[in-house]
Each structure stands twice: as structure tokens, then as C-alpha cells.
Amino acid sequence: MDMIKVTLKDGSVKEYNKGITIKEVAESISAGLARVALAGEVDGKVKDLSYELNEDCKLNLLTFDDDGGKHAYRHTSSHILAQAVKRLYPNVKLAIGPAIDNGFYYDFDVERPFSVEELAQIEEEMKKIIKEDLKLERFTLPRDEAIKFMEEKGESYKVELIRDLPEGETISFYKQGEFVDLCAGPHVESTGKIKAFKLLSVAGAYWRGNEKNKMLQRIYGTAFSKKSELDEYLFRLEEAKKRDHRKLGKELDLFDIYEEGPGFPFFMPKGMVLRNILESYWREEHQARGYQEIRTPIILNEDLWHRSGHWDHYKENMYFTKIDEGDFAIKPMNCPGGMLVYKRRLHSYRDLPQRLAELGLVHRHELSGTLHGLMRVRCFTQDDAHIFMTQEQVKDEVLGVINLIDDFYNVFGFKYHVELSTRPEDSMGTDEQWEMATNALKEALEAKGMNYKINEGDGAFYGPKIDFHLEDSIGRTWQCGTIQLDFQMPQRFDLSYIGPDGEKHRPVMIHRVVFGSIERFIAILTEHFAGAFPTWLSPVQVKILPLIDKHHQYADEVRAELEAKGIRVEVDWRNEKIGYKIREAQLEKIPYMLVIGDKEMENRAVAVRSRKDGDLGAMALKDFIDRIVKEVRTKAK
């Protein structure tokens, strides 16, 4: 019998008979591995355990600790959800049900939304299906037979999906018990493999994300290999609800979004204090690193967006207007304006690198169903910079941006991981340019000694990118900073510089952001700190609490001394009990409360209560001022 060589994750090579399944390979290694293996990665592609190996290959056996294993596990959970719904509601039509980050969902065409009580019933039916331990069996049909098969089942959404596939395509399905679903896989072996799951919520979702299509009902859920992991995740979800920036934004009077402007945020005075602190810090750090700040218009004519490529690649996300009978667009990105600033005059190689930074307001059309507080809005300020350089300067400039982003995130106490995204299908430029750009980013990451994950096909249409994903205090990740290397835009705008040889050369360009957007970063900060910002970021740093009216004059003197040192302070003048005033200040998450009574007034002291450390007792006013000034100066967390 023909033999094949299988190279395992540890580098060892084993020989097997052709036609051996991934499951059988796992069993040949160890019974324990076979029990926990959920899928296999064959030459980079995730496959079912029943997949037969017929050629020499590299094989990585996947457990729940691997992304591919999690995906198969949660994808199977979505099929169990769909089967449960079909059992309980036979007339429901199925749409799609993928695995997603931290869970899964399935879309259903139903007459009315599912209730909370119905979710509980669906969960119980899912438990029955898991207990039945139904085997997941893959089979294929030719395209015409697949269409007929789904038409007979009345699954019109599945028929539409199949019709969109190319002629001659073989269509795969998965069967578990009486339930069959159109699916490319992969899945775990049987429904009994799912150990812990929970349905989380129901939301409306347009079919295929198009608001012109029918609104479907989307059930979200999550699944883990252990109940303890599920419990921990559910705890984090509850914690996230308490930290929801939309809730805290209103309670702390920072920001809000009104129905008069869906997706267009309002910042209140305290929110503007926080925003201005972030922008001031941004300016200080950029000026210190050789950036020059610019400002470009919000509205620019249609021709510019054709030149930049946005008209062909981004038009559906843009807003348009007419001025003097001409067609204009409200900018969705700052980069074309940055091109014009660079092109205003001739540059020498001695002028490079040129780092142009901009806090630019952009507008993007987002579907109403995707809007989410400050996380997903229709207008926001990007902290952009465009760096123009020679080919030889690319590595050093990328490293400089990496260092800048690292310094920023450390100030706020964020951990992060890095991902490198490569060429998408819808892209501009030659293979050679893309290879050169991608290799330049890889070299910079490797020179910095950074671990990174590759996201194939997830780059921008004009170049590959490095994305920085922050981890907040409850373990969630957020994509914020990005470094995008661009050989296309300088070419489309005919940018140049005069080289040492006296000839014109094309510069290379980096697009980069640190915060990502000011609005989104404020949302992340609000949830990360649960609204209890460090003292240097707090809109109000000190609340003075006089006991009675006769202490008001000294309270005002304390306020004046604090303000003279740049401390943001308020006085609670109300005729209320001190316990009530303290509770109110605590709800406002003020870092320091200064209680003032007779003793404090006589000794020019203050009784200090810290949000973080509790009652600190009496303290000379000067000593308190020294303490808080140092805390602000060092940006203590």
C-alpha cells in the first residue's frame, strides 16, 4: 500500500498508509490527544478529523487552545443551535451561522423576535441534542442537485447562497441526526463534544448586511471546552455591562449620542476635558519626535477621490455633496489631503523623512445596525500621520512608529499584541510592490523582536499593515494603532523628491494612527478604567467638601491654591450631610475628596479621602498639593 509522510507540529515525521484520517493519526500518537483533538490543520487549512490524508503534508492537531480548534467547536455549536430552533419552530427559515470571536451566532427568518423565555427553551433543546451525541457527517452534491435539495426543504436563503457559487462547484453539506445544513465546515466529530455553552442575546440583522434586505433574528451564543472557562467568560460579560461606556458616559456627563444625530457624538464639558488632555499629550509626544502638525479640509472634490482610489474602493462608505454645481465628498480618510500638503513644493532627499501629523475629522457611512456608542460612529477624529521617506529609511521609520505606539500604550497600562495583515483581493499595485512592502514590515517587527500573527488578505487596498490590539483590564482586545506601508498613493499622486543623483525619485509612505480614533479610544479608556480614570486623566481631580457654611471661605481658598497649580477642582457648596456628599463624589469617581471642617480651617489642612486608598486622614494643604502634582506629572496609573 502507498505510504505518505506526515510532518507534525514538533517537526517529527511519521509514515502512514495513504487514506489515513486525521483522527487515526491522533490515535497513533496518544489516546489523550485523540480525545481532545477537535480538528486538524493540513498544510495551513483546517479540516475535520475524518479528513483523509493522501499526500505528504504538514499536520497540526488542533485542540480548543488553538484558533482553528475553537472555530470548529463553536461552528458546531451554531449548527446545534439551528437544529434546536428547527425542532421547536419547524417553519423557521435558516440563513447563516458562523463561528465568531468569543462565540457564534445564527440568523433566522421568523415572524417575530425570540423572547428571553424562548431562548431558555432553545438552550434546553440544545442540551438534548448534545446528549444525543449525533455524529456530524459531511457529504457533497453537484450545484444543481444542491439547489433542488434546499428548494425541497424550503430553505430559500440557502438556495440563494448556492446560486451565488460558481458553475460546476461541488457543494458540501453537514448532517447531524435529522438536521442538514449547507456548510463548508470544518466541524468537530459529534454534538457530544460540546461541553459548555450559553445563548447570550437576540438582535436584528439584515440579510447579508444590506439594509435593503429583510431583517432577520440573530441569536448570539458562546461555547467553551470547560464549564469553568464559560463561567469566567460570563463573569467578564457582566463586568463589561457595568463598564459600558455608553452608560458611564451619561452618568459621568462625558458624552452622549442623541436621536437627532445617530452616529454623531456630542461631547460635554467634562468629556472635552478628557479629550483635550489626550490631544495635548498626543501633540507633546509627536512634536518631541519630529512630527509637524497639519490640518486639511473636511470637504474635497470628487476628482481627488478618483486619484486616491477611494472612489473605486470605498465609495459606499462615503458622504457626498454639491458645491457650485460640482461634486464633492466629505472625507472618510485624511490621507489624500496629506498627499496635497506634501506635493505643495519640491523636496530633496535631505528633507526626508517628513512626518506630517493630523488630528483630522472624518465621516464614514456606517449602517444603523452597526452603530455602537463611541466604538462605531459616523464621524470621528483620527490621529493620523503620513510619513514620506526613501526606500532605505522604511525600516527605521517603522521601528520609530512601533516605539511611539509602545510608549503611548504603556502610559495607559495596556498590554497588546501585534498582527500583520497582507494583500487583500481588492487591491492596487504590482506583486513586486506588495512583496517589498510586506517584507519591510516583517523585517521591522523581527528587528524589534516582536511576536506577531499574520492575517492573510486583511490589509488595506493600498498596502499591508501592522495592527496593534490592546487588551483591557477584563481581558477584551481592541484594534487601535496601525502602521500601513503604501507604495500606491505616492504613485497615484505623482509624488517625488530629488535624490543625491539630482534625479526625481518616488517616496515611500507610511499611514499610521496611535489612538486609532479619539472617540473610540475614549470609549476603550472609559471601559478599561470603569470610568475611574487615573488622576492625570480625570476631568475633575479633586472635590472639596465643606461641612457647613462657615467653612466655605476656606474651601474657596483651597480651591484657588489648587487651581493655581493646574489642578482641576470643584467645590460641593450644597447644604447636605457630609456622608451624602462623599457618596456623590464617589459615584462621580473623583480621585480625591477634601473634607473641610473646623480643625482643617484652623490648621490650613485638609482631611483627604482617596478613591483608591480610602481615608488618608489630615494632611497639610501644601503636602497634599505636592502629592497630587507629582501624581499628575508622572501620569501615575
User: How far is 307 from 636, CA to CA, in rounded Å?
Assistant: 46
- Structurally, at CATH architecture level, domain 3-63 sits in Roll (3.10)
Q: Strand runs (DSSP E) across 315-445, as ranges? A: 319-323, 326-330, 354-363, 379-389, 415-421
Residues forming the annotated binding site for Zn(2+)?
A: 335, 386, 511
Are the beta carbons of 309 and 462 closer than 8 angstroms? yes
Work out the average pLDDT over 452-477.
87
Work out the average pLDDT over 78-107.
96
Nearest Cα neighbor of 223 from 74, 65, 78, 121 is 74
Give me the catalytic one of 75, 386, 528, 581: 386
Element (H, E) at 453: strand 452-455
Work out the average pLDDT over 83-110.
95
Is 382 among the catalytic positions? Answer: yes
Work out the average pLDDT over 547-575.
96
Work out the average pLDDT over 42-46.
93
| The CATH number fitting domain 70-242, selected from 1.20.1050.140, 3.30.980.10, 3.90.1150.10, 3.90.850.10 | 3.30.980.10
Is 289 among the catalytic positions? Answer: no
Average pLDDT, whole number, for the chain?
A: 94
User: How far is 559 from 569, CA to CA, in rounded Å?
Assistant: 7
Q: Where in the chain is the domain with CATH 3.40.50.800?
A: 542-633
User: How far is 438 from 463, CA to CA, in rounded Å?
Assistant: 8
Q: Where in the chain is the domain with CATH 3.10.20.30?
A: 3-63
Banded pLDDT at 461 (limits 50, 70, 90): confident
User: How far is 485 from 465, CA to CA, in rounded Å?
Assistant: 6
Dig out the grid coordinates for 119 from the structure.
Answer: 431562548
Note the helical H segments in 206-266. 227-242, 245-251
Write down the pLDDT at residue 601: 94
Q: Where in the chain is the domain with CATH 3.30.930.10?
A: 267-298+331-528
DSSP string, 520-559: HHHHHHHHHTTT---TTT-SS-EEEEESSGGGHHHHHHHH
Give me the catalytic one of 275, 355, 364, 609: 364
Output the CA–CA distances (angstroms, integers) from residue 365 to 262, 315, 387, 513, in the order listed.
Answer: 11, 10, 27, 20
Is 286 among the catalytic positions? Answer: no
Q: Where in the chain is the domain with CATH 3.30.980.10?
A: 70-242
Element (H, E) at 299: strand 299-301
- pLDDT per residue as tens digits for the range 166-191: 887 889 999 999 999 999 999 999 99
Lowest mean pLDDT among 93-97, 166-170, 386-390: 166-170
Give me the catalytic one of 187, 218, 465, 543: 465
Is 568 among the catalytic positions? Answer: no
Is 433 among the catalytic positions? Answer: no
Q: Is 517 exposed, middle or buried (0-12, 13-18, 19+ CB in 10 A)?
A: buried
Give me the catalytic one of 107, 384, 467, 486: 384
Three-state secondary-structure class, residue 493 = coil
CATH superfamily of 542-633: Anticodon-binding domain (3.40.50.800)
Give me the catalytic one of 286, 423, 511, 589: 511
Work out the average pLDDT over 1-14.
89
Percent of the chain with pLDDT over 90: 83
DSSP string, 3-69: EEEEEETTS-EEEEETTEEHHHHHHHH-HHHHHH--EEEETTEEE-TTPEE-S-EEEEEE-TTSHHH
pLDDT of 73 over the 90 cut: yes
Is 335 among the catalytic positions? Answer: yes
- Structurally, at CATH architecture level, domain 267-298+331-528 sits in 2-Layer Sandwich (3.30)
Is 175 among the catalytic positions? Answer: no
